[in-house]
Amino acid sequence: MSIKIERNLINLYGNMNIEMITDLLVLLIMRPDQVEGLSPTVQNVEYEVDPEILLMSTEDINGRTKLLENEIRIMRSECARLTHEVNNYREKIKENKERIKVNRHLPYLVSNVVELLDLDASATDEQEGANIDEDAIKTKCTVIKTSTRATYFLPMIGLVDADTLKPGDLVGVNKDSYLILEKLPPEYDSRVKAMEIDERPTEKYSDIGGLDTQIQELIEAIVLPMTHKERFITLGIQPSKGVLLYGPPGTGKTMMARAVAAQTKSTFLKLAGPQLVQMFIGDGAKLVRTKRFDSEKAGDREVQRTMLELLNQLDGFQPQADIKVIAATNRVDILDPALLRSGRLDRKIELPLPNDLARSRIMQIHSRKMNIDKHVNYDELARCTDDFNGAQCKAVVVEAGMIALRNNAVQVKHEDFMEAILEVQSKKKTALEYYA
């Protein structure tokens, strides 16, 4: 008999994991001389006999056994009922997911979040919470305004997490229940996309000659606050919001801005001054405010509105620390002083006409991809191009190449450059006359 019990116990414990053994109570009644004959597997099992059971009679034990069997049947019935309910809930969840999927493919009603509210769960009297269930009141509620200019209060927000919403967000709601189905991307004007430079410029700082000091100042004011922001935080330095590049035409202002756009990973928006002058009142200011900058029919009043909005965006109640402005002008003397004060365009970088060394460097940069004769003397060319700006130095190089092309030469010689200088000088001094 002990051998049969031992085999049953070994089979029982061999097919159970440790969690099942922990919650298992085994009643094993044996004589003391039978324990020594059991295998170590059974002997190592810890067991404890309730003293109350030892004092019970056989009839009482049988009665308790029947009671436990009855409880087991009840638990099995309850387990079957719960399993049936779980299956029903799974079917409902599947059906609801299908409905949500269908609703997501339907057209949305575009709305804006006006306000988020936290209602008290205790406010469930007849006047304040008659039509709102208690679970809904415990969550955040919201007020939305649809594209039809109708305002609705939503006790149940919908499928979007309330913590991800904030006033002003654009959302898509169901046209019947007005439940929020999806958070839409921020609204933007198509003119912003047109201003954004998709193909980044290829200019490098090494492509700019004679402006090493100005390049370093521009890097410190614009590039470093974006690439090494932690260094400014450590030192407690407030970086500049913008930089003003000023100087005569053709000194490299646009090229420096293009080099910054090429060397940084930020979104670069290009905006010309005449684009700020709008036909309708308020359009110019709106263009600055929304970063989306056609007509020259506005008066001084609209120009002043645009300027005030530009000043507010540079240094207002809600400054944008991650937005940097690079402004360039040829007439710094006519700018509003409020635009140049500290906290706005406080870093002003002058780009003067290049000196002899700078002109030599500029011509070397623009001729490095050309087949140039080794006897070309750039220092002499620089001395012959007095009062030339950077654009005119580049024009000399291009004109020298065209002269060599007309002469069927395979290399650009020093004489070609000298002839090109004379050609550019003649165009510079010629007074153009226009006739109607």
Q: Is the pLDDT of residue 81 over 90?
A: yes
Answer for the pair 308, 285: CB distance below 8 angstroms, yes or no. yes
Q: Domain containing 372 — which CATH number?
A: 1.10.8.60
Tokens of 160: 């979007």
CB atoms within 10 A of CB 143: 15
Q: Where a domain ends, among 350, 370, 402?
A: 350
Say what the pTM is. Answer: 0.52
Q: Are residues 202 and 310 in the same domain?
A: yes
Q: Are residues 207 and 319 in the same domain?
A: yes
Q: Are residues 345 and 200 in the same domain?
A: yes
Q: Which residue has the higher pLDDT, 297 or 370?
A: 370
Q: Domain containing 220 — which CATH number?
A: 3.40.50.300
Mean pLDDT of 351-361: 89
Q: Is residue 434 part of a domain?
A: no
Q: pLDDT tens digit string along 93-110? A: 998 888 877 777 777 788
- Quick one: pLDDT at residue 84? 94
Q: Is the pLDDT of residue 274 over 80?
A: no
Q: Are residues 31 and 165 in the same domain?
A: no
Share of the chain above pLDDT 70, in %: 66
Q: pLDDT tens digit string along 173-189? A: 888 888 888 888 876 65
The interaxial angle of helices 414-429 and 390-406, nearest 10 deg, is 120
Tokens of 363: 């011509």
Q: pLDDT tens digit string along 413-422? A: 999 999 999 9
Find the domain containing 373 and state its range. 356-429
Q: Is residue 344 part of a domain?
A: yes
Mean pLDDT of the chain: 75
- Quick one: pLDDT at residue 435? 45
Q: Are residues 331 and 208 in the same domain?
A: yes
Q: Where a domain ends, among 34, 49, 64?
A: 49
- Quick one: pLDDT at residue 324? 81
Contacts of residues 182-190 at CB distance under 8 Å and 24 or more positions apart, as own/partner, are 182/104, 182/108, 184/108, 184/110, 188/290, 188/292, 189/290, 189/292
Q: Are residues 277 and 420 in the same domain?
A: no
Q: Is residue 435 part of a domain?
A: no
Answer for the pair 378, 364: CB distance below 8 angstroms, yes or no. yes
- Quick one: pLDDT at residue 286? 53
Q: Is the pLDDT of residue 221 over 70?
A: yes
Q: pLDDT tens digit string along 4-62? A: 555 555 555 454 444 444 444 455 555 555 556 556 655 565 556 667 777 778 888 88
Taking the CA atoms of residue 11, residue 16, residue 21 and residue 22 in that order, the dihedral angle to the nearest 10 degrees is 170
- Quick one: pLDDT at residue 398? 93
Q: Is residue 137 part of a domain?
A: yes
Q: Where a domain ends, among 331, 350, 369?
A: 350
The helix (H) or strand (E) run that includes residue 117 is strand 109-118
Q: Is residue 436 part of a domain?
A: no
| 158-162, 184-188, 218-222, 282-286: the lowest-pLDDT one | 282-286
77 pLDDT band, cuts 50/70/90, is: very high
Question: 294: Cβ–Cβ under 8 A, 6 or more apart, which residues?
Answer: 275, 278, 279
Please count the structural domains in the chain: 5
- Quick one: pLDDT at residue 92? 92
281 pLDDT band, cuts 50/70/90, is: very low
Q: pLDDT tens digit string along 147-164? A: 888 898 888 888 888 888
Q: Are residues 44 and 57 in the same domain?
A: no
- Quick one: pLDDT at residue 412? 92
Q: pLDDT tens digit string along 225-255? A: 888 888 888 888 888 888 889 888 888 888 8
Question: 215: Cβ–Cβ under 8 A, 6 or more apart, which residues?
Answer: 205, 208, 256, 259
Q: Are residues 290 and 325 in the same domain?
A: yes
Answer for the pair 291, 314: CB distance below 8 angstroms, yes or no. no
Q: Is the pLDDT of residue 261 over 70?
A: yes
Q: Are residues 19 and 81 in the same domain?
A: no
Answer for the pair 387, 417: CB distance below 8 angstroms, yes or no. no
- Quick one: pLDDT at residue 403? 92
Q: Is residue 13 part of a domain?
A: yes
Q: Are residues 270 and 136 in the same domain?
A: no
User: Which residue from 154, 188, 152 is spatially nearest to 170, judged by alpha carbons?
Assistant: 188
Q: Are residues 305 and 243 in the same domain?
A: yes
Q: Is the pLDDT of residue 298 over 50?
A: no
Q: Are residues 298 and 220 in the same domain?
A: yes
